Every structure is written in C-alpha cells, then in structure tokens.
Amino acid sequence: MTVTQSELVLDAEAQALLFREARTANTFSDEPVTDEQMRAVYELIKWGPTSMNQQPLRIVLLRSDEAKARLLPHLMEGNRGKTEQAPLVALLAADTDFHENLPKTFPIKPDAKDIFAEPGFRESNARLNATLQIGYFFLGIRSAGLAVGPMTGFDAAGVNAEFFPEGKNRALVVANIGRPGEDAWSDRLPRLDYDEVVTTL
Amino acid sequence: MTVTQSELVLDAEAQALLFREARTANTFSDEPVTDEQMRAVYELIKWGPTSMNQQPLRIVLLRSDEAKARLLPHLMEGNRGKTEQAPLVALLAADTDFHENLPKTFPIKPDAKDIFAEPGFRESNARLNATLQIGYFFLGIRSAGLAVGPMTGFDAAGVNAEFFPEGKNRALVVANIGRPGEDAWSDRLPRLDYDEVVTTL
C-alpha cells in the first residue's frame, strides 16, 4: 500500500503521513489539540500559493463547549456527534474583503486592491483561493500528526449569521481535528483511475 | 528560514519541499515533464479527501504546441509568455457531473447520486471539492521535485467553450509545470500573521 513511487522526491514517510495512510477521522480521542500545534500548522501552510497572494482564508477555532454549541444546530444531524466529540473544530471561511490587505501582501502591484472593486469578482476569488488554502490546511493538520475530519454538510447561511454577523466572511468547510479515537474510520473508498481524470493533448 | 517546528511530525526536508522553500515559478527550463511523473503525482494526491468522495477534479495536460495554442488567447496577456515556455500546462477543471460516479466511489450510500439531482447544488459542490483537489495537486507537483506556476487570470468561459464543449466541466485554474528556469521568481511576498487569520473561541 505504501510503495514509494520512484518519480517522487518526497520521502515515503511523508507520502504516507499526508496522503497514502492518512484517513478522514469520524471519532477522536480525548487528547487536546493545543494552540502551539495550530500555530505550527499555520506557520507551515501560510506559504501555499494563492492568486496575487490574496490569502482570503479565515479560521475560527472552536474549543470551548459554548463555542461548539453555537455551531452544532447548523450541522447536518449526522455530523453533530463527531463534532461534539472532537477536541477542536475549525470553521474555515473566505474573507471577501481580502483585497484590503493587498497593499501589504502584494506591494509589487500598488493598484492591486482596485482590481477587486467589484463584489462578485471578489467573492469568486475569495472562495476559490480560500478553498485552495483549506486543502493546504488539511495537509498541515496531518503534518502535525493529527487527523482531520472535514465536513461540508452544514447550513452555511446559518453559520455565517452566527459567527460572521458583519457579513464579509463565507463559511466553506467545518473540520474536526484531533487524534483518531475508536473505530475512527471504515474501509478506504475507491479513487478514480488516472485515465478517468487526466487527458493529455 | 527553514526551522523545523517541534510541533510538526512532517520532516524538515518535506516541509521545505512542499511549503517553506517552494516557490511559484514564472520561467521554466527545457527539461520535459513526463507522463510517468504526472501519473506518480496523481497516484499520490488521489487520496486527498473530498465531500462524499466526490473527486470532481478533471485535468487536461497540454504538452503539444498545438494544444497550448488553443489556450493562449484565453489567458491574460501577462500570463501568455510563461505558459508558452512551460514544458507542460495543466488545465484544472470541475466536473459538474461527478455524481454519475458516486455509485462506484461512494457505495456505502447507494442513493448518494440522488442527493445531487439539483444542478446548482452540484455545481457548488463540484467547484469546492475540485478546488480542494487542486490544492493537493499543487503539493503533488512539488512532491515530484517540480515547480508549479498556478494562474487564475484567464477567460473561463472561453476556455470552457474551447476545451469542454459538452458543457459539464468548469475550468478553475491553469498551472504551468516544470523545472524552474532563469530568474524563476522574485522576492517572497509577505504572509498574514496567525493572529490576523485565526480566532479561537
């Protein structure tokens, strides 16, 4: 299962940690996830590329029972139990006002902010680039030896109203984070073959 | 710059390869990128998680001059030169008919396909999950020791009409792939601080 492919430079242990042996966890142990771990994850994944260095990802970490109780009613029923049990829950959102940071994050183009004056264009850029960053974030969680349980089964409008009342952030994914618990996953599901996904012209 | 953070399990060399020293390339050497390399990348990143194992990412690899010539007019002018020069270009798209595969890829829920009967819901799921997979794909390219130059500055409607006339795929990102060439990048751009991105409740 963990054959290193000779075309890859990434070592076999890293391949296993990030992809080949990593699994989406549905149960978690009691071991806490620390702020230091989350800082280390962010300091790693912040380097992942975004369009014009937009960096629209915003993360709300829910650790207290009070904070999690605000989220639970907005999740699909089947997702509530595992989220209640997870030691840490990350609410991952796109900031549609990311352009306000561009004078600082993209100084090589001083008028970069003006390109994003139109709200619809800003929203589609924010969603796409925050989602790329969420992909990096999942692999960052695994880089810390933790399991992630991502979920998209929730009422985004309800979550946005509860956690982002100022109206500029869009919840995209909720991710449970922790050490896997008992029976944390079922059998691995099949993946599409290369030739079903890739065409070469 | 490449301090290993003690909270991470991923080794320092892998951290550098994927994140800390990896850079978006704007020029490329003449060295070809092989089909074997791209197969190895896919066989690694196919394991990344998607909602209900949707796997909507579709990849069109443009290697021939003829194939690249079909793409170039749809790119922003500033992106054309580097794409013309790259040994391989990946057109990364979301398949809005991903649900047709669910009986095979999500057999644990036999009616999974029916959940996605509504085209708007299917489109938003396809875009979000294909974009997560694009994040995995970028890190997969780096896992093969190659540089990636992702671009969102292109006319998506034009690209869709040219490459996906059957109407079900949505182009999301174009990525140049190869070994970095001369002056492949400028200075690293600043990233947002943890406290600008993360809130803990």
Question: Residue A151, Cβ neighbours under 10 Å: how many?
Answer: 19
Q: What percent of chain B has pLDDT over 70?
A: 98
Residue B123 lies in a domain: yes
Residue A185 lies in a domain: no
Chain B contact set for A192 (CB, 8 A):
46, 55, 101, 105
Q: What residue numbers bound the domain in which A39 lies? A: 25-180
- Answer yes or no: is pLDDT of A3 > 50: no
Residue A194 lies in a domain: no
- Answer yes or no: is pLDDT of A51 > 50: yes
Is A61 within 8 Å of B201 when comparing Cβ atoms?
Answer: yes
Q: Count the domains in chain A.
A: 1
- Answer yes or no: is pLDDT of B83 > 60: yes
When comparing pLDDT for A165 and B6, which is higher? A165
CATH code of residue A89: 3.40.109.10
Note the pLDDT tens digit of each residue in A121-148.
Answer: 999 999 999 999 999 999 999 999 999 9
- Answer yes or no: is pLDDT of B19 > 50: yes
- Distance from the Cα of B124 to chain A's closest Cα (Å) equals 11
Q: Strand A57-62 and strand B198-200: pairing? A: parallel
Residue A75 lies in a domain: yes
Look at residue A6 in the predicted model and tell me its pLDDT. Answer: 84
Residue B2 lies in a domain: no
* Distance between CA atoms of residues B87 and B100, nearest Å: 33
**How many cross-chain Cβ pairs, A to B, lie less than 8 Å apart?**
246
Residue B119 lies in a domain: yes
Look at residue B6 in the predicted model and tell me its pLDDT. Answer: 84
* Tokens linked to A40: 């280390």
Chain A contact set for B34 (CB, 8 A):
7
**Between A64, A131, A191, which is nearest B46 by CB?**
A191
Residue B199 lies in a domain: no
- Answer yes or no: is pLDDT of B2 > 80: no
Question: Residue B69, Cβ neighbours under 10 Å: how many?
Answer: 11
Query: Helix/strand/coil (H, E, C) string of B51-81?
Result: HHHCCCEEEEEECCHHHHHHHHHHECHHHHH
pTM to 2 decimal places? 0.97
- Distance from the Cα of B181 to chain A's closest Cα (Å) equals 19
* Tokens linked to B152: 């969102």
Note the pLDDT tens digit of each residue in B115-143.
Answer: 999 999 999 999 999 999 999 999 999 99
Helix (H, G, I), strand (E, B) or coil at A146: coil
The per-residue pLDDT of chain A, averaged, comes to 95
Contact B17, B143 (CB under 8 A): yes
Nearest in space to B129 (alpha carbons), one of B87, B94, B88, B83: B94
* Distance between CA atoms of residues A74 and A51, nearest Å: 31
Residue B14 lies in a domain: no
Is B55 within 8 Å of A192 when comparing Cβ atoms?
Answer: yes
Note the pLDDT tens digit of each residue in A64-116.
Answer: 999 999 999 999 999 999 999 999 999 999 999 999 999 999 999 999 999 99
Looking at chain A, which residue has its C-alpha nearest residue B62? A201
